[in-house]
Chain A
Amino acid sequence: MNTLNDNNNQKESGQVALFIFRLYVAGSAPNSLRAIGNLMDICQEYLPERHQIEIVDVLQDPLRAITDKVLVTPTLIKVAPEPTWSMLGDLSAREKVLLGLGIEICS
């Protein structure tokens, strides 16, 4: 388990919710590495200092995948805020991720 903590949302005086993510990856498989990179990019860009990412390596802890009912890698789970959802894939479809996060892209 690896936690990237960027928990500085106190600065926003609680007005903006904290995004908690859990990303399931399979070691250094290309899709998984891409997913980590894509997620961090999006968080940096759109949710700076108000996100928390937990990375679960299924290869390190395979039975956890079964417990958590995560089957394919990579899988991203939005733990908070509500509603929670899970997203499959390497998150390269950025619009879909943003849509899921409720972020509108001003183009």
Chain B
Amino acid sequence: MTFHPQSAKSEMKKMPTGIEGFDVMTGGGLPCSRMSLLLGSPGAGKTVFALQTLVNGARQLDEPGIFIAFEEDSKRLIENVRTFGWDLGALEDRKLFFLDAHLPADTIQAGQFDLIGLLAAIEAKAKEIGAKRVVFDSIDALLIPLNDPLLERQEILRVHDWFAKTELTGIMTAKDGSSIGAQRYGFMQFITDCVVTIKHQTIDRVSLRTIQIMKYRGSSFAENEFPMVITPFGIDVASIKPNELDYPVSTERISTGVQRLDTMLNGGYYRGSSTLVSGAPGTAKTTLSGAFVEAACQRGEPALYVSFDEAANEVIRNMASVGIDLKTHVDSGLLRMYSAQSVTHSAAEHLVILKSLIAQHRIQCLAIDPLSALLKSGDLPSTLGAVERLLRFAKSSGITIVCTSLLEGVDLEAENTPLQVSTIADTWIQLSYVIQAGERNRALTIIKSRGTQHSNQVRELILSDQGVTLTDVYTAGGEVLMGTLRHEKEQAAQLELVQLEADFELERRAIEVDEGEISSRIETLRRELDSKRTAFRVKERLHEARETQWRAGQDDLQHLRYADSDSLTAPYPQSEGSED
């Protein structure tokens, strides 16, 4: 693909079509003051494309336009595009002029004619309303009666020169692929500066439209075929901006809606990241996506819940049974539910519808359940392409996306997703069943989470009317237990704990009793000691008194005997208790 939008812009003046993807492909739109040829089989969407270009010009750039309807009655045409919500009535006459140019059925042709009069009339009308854009849809009807290739060429050339002269920008639609027209359009393609082909094919019973620029004189362009979808709002072209991989990344964490899962993911999903939840049927993938959008709405962020092959009301009811209240948020308008049958559109079409819903409601959080349903719509490569574009689009717009993928008929142990989205997704959560002791239990593991320290533990996922809870699985002795077995083990452990506590309490009480006894014994002994000491002190005092008395007696005796002090000094008898 050669594609340099920057340089393309400086090359020539271009008229934006307002169809974003196409303006990206062409680096700005169709060539100004020139005639562009829009080829396509009947029903490919040429008329819608051309009309949308006029409407966008009138509405967004205030460039009035003229639509010359050669084949379809303009009233019917307006009626047909009413569903797109373009509100042509408001634009009509002042900003958008419809000229019915289909020849009456009873018209007789008698000789050669030319388009001089028509072009003069359009030019006058263009001057009157200040038109910049003119659509000829489609000119075949007028050229066929000429019935002469040379004259046709002459008229085509006339139109071509007329655009250059009047500085009007033109789109001329023409049928493609018919052998009759081949020669005519060969010449048209040769003289026009820009040729665009819209293809409408059916691949695997799914209708697919693609748009391709065949040539663009004086400008570079995206040469590939790009998916084109006619959405409820008009045409959308799914081209990828070359710099789309360069988007700002956020470090903000947002809740998954399940507390334990937030913890496992170190705070939740990164804002603007994509998460894939894969698992077998019934493993609560839908519930996880429901919890995510509920959490988003609780934070006040507009969210979109896309359910394929399941009605929105059904989803709301089922979610309510596990304590996830979506209805309140749907009623408040914060949450949009979009449910569709996957097979009704191709993946590219679904993508475009989602993109427009996202833009319309400024969606910040998106859940798609199940993304794998898109596999049913179209061939694998184009589906994968669409899914990849969706994820990239969400990332570049900072939208956090959670999508689920059903693993059906594949080896669950292989942990592999049919969509191969796992390589693009930032976080991959795997839900599975563990069958043990006659029951199935849900297990949750985080296979990867880019840029996040995440738990490597398997958790048991339990659904109740209180919502989703994650429980540690019981791991002991090398075995992992879940469900009833886990419950039993947990109960047993609980009992053991109670027993231990009781035992301890008893022991504590016994010690308390012992302690009391011992301290009372200590008190008794202390008192005994006290009384003994008191008795001793009494005896001591008595002894002192007796000694004093004895010495006094000796002194008196000596004095009476006039005895020599030295000879008569005798020790006081030391014997204890001799007086008692």
Give the distance to chain A from B188, nearest Cβ to Cβ, in Å. Answer: 18
Alpha-carbon distance between A96 and B109 when the two chains are bound, in angstroms: 8
Q: From B115-123, B175-183, B493-501, give the one contacting chain A.
A: B115-123
Give the distance to chain B from A22, nearest Cβ to Cβ, in Å. Answer: 13
Alpha-carbon distance between A67 and B330 when the two chains are bound, in angstroms: 52
Let me know if B439 is at the binding interface, CB within 8 A: no
Give the distance to chain B from A78, nearest Cβ to Cβ, in Å. Answer: 10
Q: Is the CB of B109 within 8 A of A90?
A: no
Hey, which chain B residues are within 8 Å of A26, CB to CB? 114, 116-117, 120
Let me know if B478 is at the binding interface, CB within 8 A: no
Alpha-carbon distance between A26 and B115 when the two chains are bound, in angstroms: 9
Q: Is the CB of B109 within 8 A of A58?
A: no
Q: Is the CB of A87 within 8 A of B116?
A: no
Q: Is the CB of A72 within 8 A of B114?
A: yes
Q: Is the CB of A71 within 8 A of B108?
A: no
Q: Is the CB of B107 within 8 A of A71?
A: no
Let me know if B103 is at the binding interface, CB within 8 A: yes
Q: Mark B83-95, 1 if CB is under 8 A from A, else 0.
A: 0000000000000
Q: Mark B498-525, 1 if CB is under 8 A from A, else 0.
A: 0000000000000000000000000000
Q: Is the CB of B110 within 8 A of A89?
A: yes
- Chain B contact surface mostly: mixed
Q: Mark B133-154, 1 if CB is under 8 A from A, else 0.
A: 0000000001001000000000
Choose from A63, A69, A93, A100 the contact partner of B111 (Cβ within 8 Å): A93
Q: Is the CB of A87 within 8 A of B121?
A: no
Q: Is the CB of A88 within 8 A of B121?
A: no
Contact residues, A42-64 vs B (CB, 8 A): 58-59, 62-63
Hey, which chain A residues are within 8 Å of B423, CB to CB? none
Q: Is the CB of A88 within 8 A of B125?
A: no
Let me know if B571 is at the binding interface, CB within 8 A: no
CB closest chain-B residue, reference A67: B121
Hey, which chain A residues are within 8 Å of B103, CB to CB? 71, 88
Q: Which 7 A-B pairs have the closest CB atoms?
A: A73-B117, A89-B111, A62-B124, A26-B116, A58-B117, A90-B111, A92-B111
Q: Which of B112, B121, B123 is most buried by chain A, counting CB atoms within 10 A of its CB?
A: B121
Contact residues, A3-30 vs B (CB, 8 A): 24-27, 29
Give the distance to chain B from A47, nearest Cβ to Cβ, in Å. Answer: 16
Q: Is the CB of A86 within 8 A of B107?
A: yes
Hey, which chain B residues are within 8 Å of A97, CB to CB? 110
Q: Is the CB of A96 within 8 A of B123?
A: no
Let me know if B101 is at the binding interface, CB within 8 A: yes
CB closest chain-A residue, reference B99: A66
Give the distance to chain B from A73, nearest Cβ to Cβ, in Å. Answer: 3
Give the distance to chain B from A38, nearest Cβ to Cβ, in Å. Answer: 7
Q: Is the CB of B108 within 8 A of A72?
A: no
Q: Is the CB of A71 within 8 A of B142?
A: yes
Q: Could you list 11 examples of A-B contacts with CB < 8 Å?
A: A26-B114, A29-B114, A34-B111, A58-B117, A62-B117, A62-B124, A63-B128, A71-B121, A86-B104, A92-B112, A93-B111
Hey, which chain A residues are within 8 Å of B145, CB to CB? 88
Let me know if B11 is at the binding interface, CB within 8 A: no
Knowing A65-B118, A66-B125, say if A87 contacts B99 (CB, 8 Å): no
Choose from A71, A85, A89, A96 the contact partner of B117 (Cβ within 8 Å): A71
Q: Is the CB of A88 within 8 A of B120?
A: no
Q: Is the CB of B113 within 8 A of A74?
A: yes
Give the distance to chain A from B443, nearest Cβ to Cβ, in Å. Answer: 73
Hey, which chain A residues are within 8 Å of B111, CB to CB? 31, 34-35, 38, 88-93
